[in-house]
Chains A and B, each alone.
Chain A
Amino acid sequence: MKKKNNFLGDIAGLIELLPERKRRIERASPGPIGDDPINELARSLHPQKIYFEIAEVRDETPTIRTFKLVAAPDSGTTALPVFRAGQYLAFREEVQGVVVTRPYSISSSPREALEDGFMEITVRKIPKGFLTKHIWKNWKPGSKITSSGPAGFFYHEPLRDTNHILGIAGGCGFTPFRSMIKDAIDNDLDLSITLLFGIRTPDEVIFKKELAKYKRKMGKKLKVTYVCSEPDGSWKGPSGFITKDVIKKQGGGVKGKTLFICGPPAMYRFLENELAEFKIPQKRIRREVFGEIDDITAFDEFPRGLKRKKFNIKVHIGSEVEEIQAKATETVLVAMERAGLAPQSKCRSGECGFCDSLLLDGEIFVSPENDGRRMAGVKFNHFHPCASYPVTDLEIIVNRSV
């Protein structure tokens, strides 16, 4: 035995503390620790990555496609995680040598992931969209794709929300509600869902057939109304935007309901006015994050005179240093992706903090709607590249991707 610290050893030895400790250690097994079911549970709930194989591709409309995804055991995913209906997956895809991520809401139900072994996402093709063009071309049955674990906070939480959801959707915002409806049916939840879905043209009506099926199962607890902004002669439903009158008439008002809003930023801004007169407490309105802002210059807060400016960003990753170019009107994340740095990201809305980085020098503009930074993060210059725009040349430290 090594020499003990005498003085301490003597007093402690006097009172049998050490002999008891020694006895206990001698008696203990030298075997390995048992398994750790709680870390296992954590990993199965929150896998860092999910490796999928595309099992099926369905065209919902000429521009909307549903992809049915199953686990790809050869790549490392043997079972799909459970999730909260309304959550999204962030897909990581390489397009022409550039790695980008995109969040897509899961449109299937948690039970289907767990028991039937599949998840579905429903994607709308963006005109001139660089990623969706790639997806339309390359995502075929048998293709392998990779996503994050389920993420996001756009789900019904019985501890917090009333048991009647008033869903307002636009664009491709129907998808999380499809998951919520299926979940309510699968688990016979005490939950009513009234859904107002804004579409542009009548041919954007999706899930019509299956909705009839859900309606049979949920009865009065489910009501879906399509609201068409550019109707043709054949359109019989309400037309225009989702106004306060539509909310009152087709939505049955807001009383006792929790609003779940999912759609493009323009819809959020429009709804803000429409909802004002209802004086809904903030806790009764949940908004899904909508990804990057299309035109940051439209914000009054955006510094003047930067529209056409370009800046240099010095990026430290590990021991590497890269100098990249960035437009004032694009996020630091996009600039890094474009430069091929493959930074990690999930929500692309400033919310999840997955792209958290450190600003060493320079100034950024953080879009006020997407500022999810911690207070200490602001104080000590952490920032979220997905919601930050360069206002000067920058020097930043970015984490290596997981």
Chain B
Amino acid sequence: MAGRRKAILDPSYEAVVVGAGNGGLGAALQLALKGVKTLLLEQHNVPGGFATSFVRGRFEFDASLHELADVGSADNAGSLRVFLDEAGTDIDWVAIPEAYRVILTDENLNVRVPFGIEELIDTIESEVPGSRKAMTKYMELCKDVNGALGILGGIADSAKPDRMISDFMSFVRDSDNPIEEIASIVRKLMNLLRVISKTVDQVSDEYKLPDRARAILYPYWCYLGLPMSRLSFTSWGAMLISYMTKGAYVPRMRSQELTMAMESRIRELGGRIEYNTRVEEILVERGKVTGVRTSQGDEIRTSQIIANVSPTLVYNDLISPKTEVPKIALKNVNARKHASSCIVVYMGLDTTLDELGLTDYGYFISKNMDTDEIYDSTYVLDVPIMQATTCLNNVIPDCSPPGTSIVSITTLFSMDSWSDVTPKDYFKVKNRIANGLIDQLENGTGANIRDHIEEIEVATPATFARYTRSYKGVVYGYELDPWDGVIARVVTKEDEKYIKGLEIGGGFSFMGHGYNVSLLSGRAAALSTLKEMGVKS
């Protein structure tokens, strides 16, 4: 009988992608678009990794998504929308009306921040009179840094220096005002150069941003997860500009719509996807990948692998034999530090957001905006002092049945503070922290949440480890200090490639973490793979 036979896979593929999270799906989609015979392997039984949803009672919760940057509207499309549209995926994007509301209980601060650079500056000016000049300059700098990254990205895409120069020359020649164009490019690059090794705080100090302006401006830090005293300014500036100029979006049917749309398109294009199939070994011979072995007992030959996996796990656990792991690769991953995991409290409420007085989609609630203090509070097995909360019905009114609403509280949480939790204490500890987070939300907003909880789930680092097997349940990638920021990673990308035929995509790769960059970095990894395979782009 068939059940007795091992349902086998083809013995060889042109490319194998490990992990169907955002990075792996982005990679497999790009490969499939070019007609490469691609196999995408995933240990779970649905696509998405963190980008998934789950149903409880009459509610469907997003496991992780707050909002996507780099989507943009149809006529102001970001690169993520462009890629997904061109790839032919079917996703119903819904725009988030405002950036966020920040509530700082110790600072008597409660401000709604709109999208748009001018609007942001205006809002901060009205709260912090006299900040306009400094804020305007600061945002100009962010724009330049973002622009410079775009230029460098374009250059880095050109394989050869001579082509790079000719591309650049033809770009300038086509311009209406070549001198101004060159001046602007030079200015952007100079500005990038000036801040390339700086932290956010260093630049904010230099621009003399008032503390209260920073308090209003900084909440997005938690999407990168490193305090402003350490976070690379380049990553921050680029993210801030992306949100302010392109807005933020969510797929109508949770992030699962994004990942199933990609899954569906990959299959249509002839790519093969296998679930319940964990890659246990990446086979390497003389510094080159030769195939993978899986938890189902498959052995598949390939010369191109894209791993949507932390390099820490790739070099420690996956590469086989171990003698093929260069010492420098282990040093590399040990030098870097895994960023945060999260605790999420998902709630289906039997009342409307209107009734609760929750008027916005995104709430950042904290005592203050001292990001060092907040970051440190995630290293204690207790309620961290900041939460990022979403109220989905304010973006998608019918995301839950009439008269109900979906509210999710997220807080960053260091994996190390979970290390001592025993199975016996597990439910108690997670409920204690969830309780504290609900208190925090009620105190911050005045909403009576507790009397309306119809469904509730709490995800901890152990939950994320359960579904993704990420190292210690990490949700983000490596911490983005300047020495391991986007620029440092881009520049060293080729030098730090230790195994031929192996690319890394996803939150641990050169673009940093977050939905859009994880997905697009998977695509970028696929472009490198295609180049190596000699497939024309």
Contact = CB atoms under 8 A, between A and B. Distances in A.
Contact of A114 (B424, B455, B472, B494): B424
B110 interface: no
B387 to A, nearest CB: 16
A39 B334 CA distance: 19
B55 A372 contact: yes
B33 interface: no
A374 B60 contact: yes
A283 B454 contact: yes
Given A26-B331, A45-B423, A354-B45, A318 B9 contact: yes
A320 B10 CA distance: 10
A366 B528 CA distance: 44
Contacts of B54: 353, 374
Given A11-B193, A41-B462, A380 B263 contact: yes
Interface of A is mostly: loop
Given A18-B492, A29-B334, A375-B253, A82 B193 contact: no
Given A99-B3, A340-B4, A379-B257, A15 B454 contact: no
Contacts of A402: 276, 295
B277 interface: yes
A283 B491 contact: no
A283 B57 CA distance: 9
B535 interface: no
B491 A5 contact: yes
Contacts of B411: none
Interface in A82-113: 82, 84, 97, 99
Interface string B397-428: 00000000000000000010011111110110
B447 to A, nearest CB: 16
Given A38-B473, A82-B424, A5 B156 contact: yes
B264 A380 contact: yes
A45 to B, nearest CB: 6
A399 B275 contact: yes
A18 B276 CA distance: 41
Contacts of B482: 17
Contact of B161 (A6, A153, A282, A382): A6
A33 B483 contact: no
A376 interface: yes
A402 B294 CA distance: 11
Interface string B246-264: 0000011110110111011
A153 B276 CA distance: 23
Interface string B495-518: 100000000000000000000000
B188 to A, nearest CB: 12
Contact of B335 (A12, A15, A27, A341): A27
Interface stretch (A66-74, A155-163, A198-206, A298-306): A155-163
Contacts of B10: 319
Contacts of A377: 46, 256, 260
Nearest to B338: A33
Contacts of A38: 341, 415, 418-419, 461-462, 465, 472-473
A341 B253 contact: no
Nearest to B43: A402
Contact of B7 (A18, A318, A382): A318
Contact of B431 (A31, A37, A158, A319): A158
A376 B53 contact: yes
Interface residues of A, number: 79
Interface in A351-402: 351, 353-354, 356, 372-377, 379-382, 399-402
Interface in A32-51: 32-33, 36-39, 41-46
Given A8-B491, A12-B488, A42 B465 contact: yes
Contacts of A401: 276
A320 B5 contact: yes
Contacts of A376: 53, 251, 253-254, 256-257, 259-261
Contacts of B472: 36-39
A43 B256 CA distance: 25
A74 B263 CA distance: 39
A1 interface: yes
Taking each of A11, A39, A99, A354, which has the highest tally of chain B beta carbons within 10 Å of its own beta carbon? A39
A14 B252 CA distance: 46
B282 interface: no
A37 B421 CA distance: 9
B418 A14 contact: no
B7 A319 contact: yes
Interface in B206-228: none
A152 B408 CA distance: 21
A319 B274 CA distance: 10
A33 B260 contact: no
Contacts of B330: 29-32
B2 A322 contact: yes
Nearest to B263: A380
Contacts of A356: 45-46
Given A38-B419, A42-B473, A159-B456, A282 B58 contact: yes
A18 B491 contact: yes
B327 A21 contact: no
Contacts of A351: 55
A374 B253 contact: yes
Given A7-B155, A400-B296, A160 B257 contact: no
A375 B54 CA distance: 10
Nearest to B332: A25
A28 interface: yes
Nearest to A402: B276
A327 to B, nearest CB: 19
A194 B477 CA distance: 49
A17 B423 contact: no
A318 B274 contact: yes
B164 interface: yes
A318 B487 CA distance: 41
A268 to B, nearest CB: 15
B24 to A, nearest CB: 17
A14 B193 CA distance: 9
Interface in B427-463: 427, 431, 434-435, 438, 452-456, 458, 461-463
B504 to A, nearest CB: 16
B53 A2 contact: no
Q: A15, A376, A382: which has the most chain B beta carbons within 10 Å?
A: A376
B335 A25 contact: yes
Given A281-B454, A341-B3, 15 more contacts: A8-B490, A11-B189, A17-B488, A18-B491, A30-B331, A33-B471, A42-B462, A45-B423, A158-B431, A160-B454, A340-B3, A372-B55, A379-B257, A380-B263, A381-B264
17 contacts: A4-B491, A8-B155, A15-B196, A24-B335, A28-B332, A29-B331, A30-B327, A33-B334, A41-B418, A82-B423, A82-B426, A84-B427, A97-B1, A317-B7, A340-B3, A340-B4, A376-B53
Interface of A: 1-2, 4-9, 11-12, 14-18, 20-21, 24-33, 36-39, 41-46, 81-82, 84, 97, 99, 114, 153, 157-160, 281-283, 317-320, 322, 339-342, 344, 351, 353-354, 356, 372-377, 379-382, 399-402
6 closest A-B pairs by beta carbon, nearest first, are: A318-B7, A340-B1, A342-B3, A283-B454, A28-B335, A375-B253
